[in-house]
Amino acid sequence: MIHTRDLQKYYTVGGTTVRALDGVSLDIDDGEYVTVVGTSGSGKSTLMNILGCLDAPTSGSYTLDGKDVSALSDNTLSDIRSNKIGFIFQSFNLIPGLTALENVELPLLYRKVPKRQRSETAMRALESVRLSDRALHRPTELSGGQQQRVAIARAIAANPAIILADEPCGNLDSRSGAEVLDILSGLSRSGKTVVMITHNEDTARKAQRLVRISDGKILQ
Ligand SMILES: Nc1ncnc2c1ncn2[C@@H]1O[C@H](COP(=O)(O)OP(=O)(O)OP(=O)(O)O)[C@@H](O)[C@H]1O
Ligand SMILES: [Mg+2]
C-alpha cells in the first residue's frame, strides 16, 4: 500500500538547514497496523504529512497503492487524499461552527455524495464511535474524547483504505485514549491500513509493527 524509497525532507530557515527526514525507506502492506514512534522533533509528523500527500518530499520516491505520487499536481494529490486517506490529528481539527454530524459529512461533501446519503453515511460513522446521541452538538459542547471520536468518524466516513493518526491520544486522558486505541484496533481488524504516530512507548506497542524513527532516520 505504502512504498517509499530514500525520502528526504529538508527545511531551510534563516540559513540553517534541518534534515527532518534523512533517507526514509518504508513498506507498509495493505491491512497492516503500524506505529511510528520517536522523540519530539524526530520527523514523525513530517513523515505522516508526506505519507498523507499533504506535503511533498525534497527528494526520494513514494508509491501509494501502486501509483507514484512523488510528482503529482496539488489537485491530483487532493483527489488521492479524499479518496484513499482518513486523517486523525492530536488537536482533533474539527470545524467549530459545524455540528458533529456536519463535520463528519465534510469528506463526503468533497466526494460529491448527495445530501441525503451524506447524512445517512455520516450518522452511521457516528454510531460506529457510539456518538449518534451527540450528532447535533458543536465541538465546544463535547468532551475531548468525544471530539476525537467525531474526528475518527470523519476520518472513516468516506471509507478510505488508509487511516493516518498523528498522536491521536496526545490530548486525551488515559481512559479516552484507551477508547481511541480500541477504535483504531477495530479499524485495523476490519481491514484498514492504519499508521499511528506516537511518542508514547506503551501506545506504540498496541500495533502489529513498530517503526522507530530518530533524527529523520528509521532505526528499527
Ligand atoms: N515547516 C517547517 N519548517 C522548518 N522546520 C520544520 C518544519 N516542520 C518541521 N520542522 C523541523 O523538522 C524536524 C521534525 O519535525 P516534526 O514535526 O516532523 O517532528 P515530530 O517527530 O512530529 O515531533 P513532535 O513529537 O514534537 O510532534 C524538527 O526539527 C522541526 O523543527
Ligand atoms: Mg509531530
Q: Which atom of ligand 1 is nearest to the CA of 216?
A: 14
Q: Is the pLDDT confidence value at 74 over 90?
A: no
The C-alpha atoms of residue 76 and residue 153 are separated, in whole angstroms, by 24
Give the pLDDT confidence score for residue 18 in this predicted structure.
95
Residues 55 and 42: beta-carbon distance below 8 Å: no
Rounded CA separation 197/137 (Å)? 28
CATH of 2-218, one of 2.60.40.1120, 3.40.50.300, 3.40.50.12780, 3.30.420.40: 3.40.50.300
All structural domains of the chain with their residue ranges: 2-218
Using the 8-state DSSP alphabet, how is residue 65 labeled?
Answer: T
Query: In ligand 1, which atom is closest to the CA atom of 90?
Result: 27
With a cut of 90, say whether residue 4 has pLDDT above it: yes
pLDDT at 104 over 90: yes
Grid coordinates belonging to 61: 520516491
Quick: pLDDT tens for 178-217: 999 999 999 999 999 999 999 888 888 888 899 999 999 9
Q: Which ligand sits closest to the CA of 213? A: 1
Q: Which residues form the pocket of ligand 1, taking CB atoms under 6 Å from any ligand atom?
A: 11, 13, 18, 20, 38, 40-46, 199
Q: What is the pLDDT of residues 141-168, one digit of tens each?
A: 999 999 999 999 999 999 999 999 999 9
List Cα–Cα distances, 82 to 18, 77, 122, 202, 205, in angstroms.
30, 9, 15, 31, 29
Measured over all CA atoms, what is the biggest interatomic distance in the chain, rounded to whole angstroms?
A: 53
Rounded to 10 degrees, what is the CA torsion of 59, 65, 71, 74? -120
